[in-house]
Amino acid sequence: MSDFNNAKIIGLTGSLLAIMGMIGSLAGLSFFRLTFISGPGWSSGFMPPMHHPYPLAFYSTLSWLSLAGWVLIIISLYLFSRFYGEPGIFSYILYSILAIISGFILSIILFMVGVVTLVILIGVLIMILALLAFYAGIIAGGYFAYTSLRLLSMKSREESFKYAGILLLISAILVIILPLALLFNIASLTVLAVAYYSLKPPGIVTSGELKS
């Protein structure tokens, strides 16, 4: 049962850290919009970004918390895959990471090819393919992450894991609208934190299960 408790605590901690990181990313986007976009030039009263080093550093630190949180979540999924004897819980989250990294690398390669292409029209088409490759990698990563959480939901009988996976997949689909994608990501991580908190060890029967 120690593996179960460790996985639960690590997953809950990771979810909370990732939520803080996502909130920091949203705050950073808002700060960027106010600093760089609002008003014509700097005449609207907003100061240049170099005059705001501390807020930018603060938001960057919070964003790194999201990465640390996801690392803990992945470790938690590995422990749960061993505890429940379901390799797919961990392997699908690995597929998710590989899909995102592969899409990113392919998009970078295509983008560089598009930049050095002498024919302008072909170069533009290659750059569009680069964006599509990146988008496809994100969606594939979201689907594999959803599959991992759905398997965990089936094994643990905690439905919130599946709902967190659905919200995460929606977030991946909406990545082209970054602020909206971040909001769905925060919602997914919030539901994931609730799932970890509500998770019961095998053999413990809840009142809802008694009624059914």
Residue 147 within a domain: yes
Please give the mean pLDDT across all residues of the chain.
82
pLDDT at 47: 45
Q: Note if the pTM is more than 0.85.
A: no
Q: Which residues span the domain enclosing 46?
A: 2-201
Q: Residue 80: name the closest of 12, 172, 17 by CA.
A: 12
> Residue 92 has which token pair?
């699908």
pLDDT at 206: 46
Instruction: Examine the pLDDT at 38 and tell me if it is beyond 70.
Output: no
Residue 21 within a domain: yes
pLDDT at 192: 96
Average pLDDT over residues 86-92: 96
Percent residues over pLDDT 90 in the chain: 56
Q: Are 94 and 87 in contact (CB under 8 A)?
A: no
Q: From the CA atom positions of the chain, what is the Rg in Å?
A: 21
* Identity of the amino acid at 76: S
pLDDT-derived band at 42 (thresholds 50, 70, 90) equals very low
pLDDT-derived band at 56 (thresholds 50, 70, 90) equals low
Average pLDDT over residues 33-58: 48
Work out how many domains the chain is built from and give that number: 1
Residue 212 within a domain: no
Residue 206 within a domain: no
Average pLDDT over residues 123-132: 88
